[in-house]
Copies of this chain bind each other. A is one copy, B any other.
Amino acid sequence: MKQPIGVIDSGVGGLTVASELIRQLPKESIIYLGDTKRCPYGPRPKEEVIQYTWEMVNFLMTKDIKMLVIACNTATAFVLEQLKEALSFPVVGVIQPGARAAITSSRTGEIGVIGTEGTINSRAYVDALKQINSQITVRDLACPAFVPLVEKGIVKGSEAYQVVRESLGQMKVYNDMDTLILGCTHYPMIKDLIQEVIGSTVTVISSGEETAREVSTILGYQKKLYQGQLEPQNHFYTTGDVEVFQAIASRWFDQRVDAVSKIDLHSVKSL
């Protein structure tokens, strides 16, 4: 069916998920909504994250989406189950796909997870991994320096390398750790640096890539992949500044992103 896939995030991080969806599912149309104005969600109380996430979902429901991707770790941790219960179309978060891919990849059963302080403190990845295999050893580490780095566009060169090396230093003592989950949607932008620092024996899992894979799995399983000949149409909405969003999106997508509109979530009525 020609309906688009909806993607929500607290800001721009989820664009790494959107770009993977466009790469892996080139026939599908994407509608992305980043709540840039109220970003980040991490430090906010749970009730506020739930309210803001629902405001985003209510907006996307006016666009007749066939599936919802919560491309935000905080919103996934707090609202995924509630949205799955409430909505009639499939809902996928970013945490479980990364956890499942790590279990598929790991031979030693020792898995690392890096993310923001909020995500690491929530223990959402630990729970997702242990739910599938209680014998897994999880090594987790907050890397608060990475998001500011990526948002400033410093994704290569010696400054970025120094920050990554210092942040990941204590991960390097885990000799049996053979898999590392990038538990933040910003981190794929510095995946090469992370791989270089952590070493070639560790498989680095990008949750964006894995989330797109699971969207493909579920749409395929439910026979909802688009099979027609129409060109895909992607559109991006932000609650913040259109030009700033456009600049970041164009840099991350490595091509000019024009289809960006500003939206005021308070004007959206709940369906």
A96, CB-defined interface residue at 8 Å: yes
Number of interface residues of A (CB under 8 A): 29
List of B residues within 8 angstroms of A210 by Cβ: 104
Whether B132 lies near A25 (C-beta < 8 A) is: yes
CB distance from A88 to the nearest CB of B (A): 15
Q: How many copies does the complex hold?
A: 2
Interface: A77 (CB within 8 A):
no
A218-B218 contact given A26-B135, A135-B26, CB 8 Å threshold: yes
Q: Assess whether A24 is interfacial by the CB under 8 Å rule.
A: yes
B100 near A213 with CB under 8 A, answer yes
Residues on the B chain within 8 Å of A92, using CB:
221
Distance from A201 Cβ to chain B, minimum over Cβ atoms (Å): 14
Would you call A212 an interface residue if the criterion is a C-beta within 8 Å of the partner chain's C-beta atoms?
yes
Q: Which residues of B contact A220 (CB under 8 A)?
A: 96, 100, 132
Q: Which residue of B lies closest to A107 (CB)?
A: B23
CA distance A212 to B105 in the complex (A): 12
Task: Tell whether A90 pairs with B221 under 8 Å between CB atoms, given A213-B100, A213-B101, A216-B100.
Answer: yes
Given contacts A217-B214, A217-B217, A218-B218, contact A27 B133 (CB under 8 A): yes
- List residues of A whose CB falls within 8 A of some B CB: 24-27, 90, 92, 96-97, 100-101, 103-104, 131-135, 209-210, 212-214, 216-218, 220-221, 225, 227
25 inter-chain pairs at a CB distance below 8 angstroms, sorted by A residue, are: A24-B103, A24-B104, A24-B132, A24-B133, A26-B133, A26-B135, A27-B133, A27-B134, A90-B221, A92-B221, A97-B217, A100-B216, A100-B220, A101-B213, A104-B209, A104-B210, A104-B212, A104-B216, A131-B225, A132-B216, A132-B220, A132-B225, A214-B221, A217-B218, A218-B221
